[in-house]
Amino acid sequence: MFADLSTEVAGLRLENPLMLASGILDENGYSMLRVLRSGASAAVTKSIGEEERNGYRPPVVHPLQSGMLNAIGLANPGIEEYGHEIEIARRAGKPIIGSIFAPDEAGFSRLAERMQSFGVSAIELNLSCPHVKGVGSEVGSDPVLVKRVVQAVKSVSSVPVFAKLSPNVTDLVEIARAASDADGLVLINTVRAMAVDIRARRPVLSNGFGGLSGPSIKPVGIRCVYEVRKAMDIPIVGVGGISGFEDVVEYIMVGSDAVQIGTALWRNGPGIFSSILCELEKFMEEEGYRGIGEMKGVALQ
């Protein structure tokens, strides 16, 4: 028996459940193309704003035993300079999902319209960057603003719209319900965190604090998907700390339709996609699962 690894998220057909997360190896079209040809079923672009943004001064990344701490500051070339990168990435013949950020619904709407003109297959709303004032978790922690942003983007979008939410909120289910007009949710973004250089006697990142990603946040991501899936029937893409097939299975068993992989590429390179897919297919055959759908949500019983 051969297991069927294909899945569908909000009408988006994927050849397997593994997507490239926003922020890792998606600075340009060629790096996305490389990851897509290495086995990823789709790629999410880095988060793009209306204007060029330099981000924070170095150091902006700090490796940890349990993952990675970063505060890039949403550095990006601006929407008008990024269309060419999407054009290159689309050569793989797989879905490209455009990630966008803005301080309000008007900015999100303008960005969504422009992203669609580049031929993306879906839009991801970054409502949850934990370290940028005005366009990060401040947007994603206000249920009224979340609802307005999602509704505004949906009104101008002809492709699926996904809302990426933060674990750094008091009530994630409340925020998820506010985003329920989206076609799907992406859970989760990085966890707000900090580390100190004890020799220099100061934070390791120039911004002071940043976002923690990698294996240490996987239990948080699993819990968030579980809570939202128990409360709502909406497509979910799970993300946070995935580095092996077991992690993928966990996310699917608590209700994810697909997953995104980011930090693990930093340690293992694009080959991690084919490696995980091989082990995932083997696991499914051994356990008698004929398709991804048969695993989805089994831990919710």
Contact 241, 217 (CB under 8 A): yes
Q: Name residue 146's amino acid.
A: V
Tell me which of 140 and 195 has the higher pLDDT: 195
pLDDT higher than 70, residue 288: yes
pLDDT, tens digit (0-9, with 9 covering 90-100), for 243-267: 999 999 999 999 999 999 999 998 8
Please write down the HEC assignment for all residues of 175-239.
Answer: HHHHCCCCCEEEECCCEEEECEECCCCEECCCCCEEEEECHHHHHHHHHHHHHHHHHCCCCEEEE
Is residue 291 predicted with pLDDT exceeding 80?
yes
Tens of pLDDT, residue by residue over 149-172, are: 999 999 999 999 999 999 999 999
| Cα Rg, the chain, nearest whole Å | 18
The domain made up of 7-53+74-188+214-300 is a member of CATH 3.20.20.70? yes
pLDDT value at residue 224 = 98
Q: Domain-by-domain residue ranges, the chain? A: 7-53+74-188+214-300
Asked if pLDDT for residue 134 goes beyond 80, the answer is no
The binding site for FMN consists of 22, 46-47, 126, 164, 188, 214, 240-241, 262-263
The pLDDT assigned to 128 comes to: 86
Res 130 pLDDT > 80: no
Residue 280, pLDDT > 90, answer yes
What per-residue confidence (pLDDT) applies to 129? 80
Mean pLDDT of the 219-239 span: 98
Mark whether 224 is an active-site residue. no
* Token digits of residue 51: 């204007």
| Cα–Cα distance measured from residue 89 to residue 87, given in angstroms and rounded to the nearest whole number | 6
For 168-224, the pLDDT digits (tens) are 999 999 999 999 999 999 999 999 999 999 999 999 999 999 999 999 999 999 999
For 271, residues 6+ apart whose C-beta sits below 8 A from its C-beta are 38
Query: What pLDDT is recorded for position 27?
Result: 83
Say whether 81 sits in a helix, a strand or coil: helix
Q: Tokens 């949500």 label which residue?
A: 297
| pLDDT score, position 5 | 98
The pTM of this model reads 0.96
Minimal CA–CA distance to 166: which of 207, 232, 113, 213? 213
Q: Is the pLDDT of residue 140 over 80?
A: yes
Mean of the per-residue pLDDT values for the chain? 95
Helix, strand, coil percent values for the chain (each to nearest 5): 40, 20, 40
Answer yes or no: is pLDDT of 136 > 70: no
User: Percent of the chain, pLDDT > 70?
Assistant: 98
Q: Calculate the alpha carbon distances from 118 to 12, 28, 104 in Å.
A: 17, 14, 22
Residue 137: the pLDDT is 59
Taken in order 113, 118, 123, 128, is the CA torsion positive or negative?
Answer: negative
232: confidence class by pLDDT, cuts 50, 70, 90: very high
Please state, for a pLDDT cut of 90, what percent of the chain lies above it: 91
- Which of 36, 40, 129, 261 is labelled catalytic? 129
The per-residue pLDDT for 267 is 87
Known binding residues for substrate: 46, 70-74, 126, 189-190
Cite the annotated binding site by residue number.
22, 46-47, 70-74, 126, 164, 188-190, 214, 240-241, 262-263
Spatial separation of the C-alpha atoms in residues 10 and 143, rounded to whole Å: 22
Residue 75's pLDDT band, with cuts at 50, 70 and 90, is: very high
| b/e map 112-142, b = 16+ CB within 10 Å | bebbbebebbbbbbbbbbbbbeebbbbbbbb
Report d(CA 178, CA 23) in Å as an integer. Answer: 25
Mean pLDDT of 84-106: 97
Alpha carbon distance 165, 185 (integer Å): 7
CB atoms within 10 A of CB 144: 8
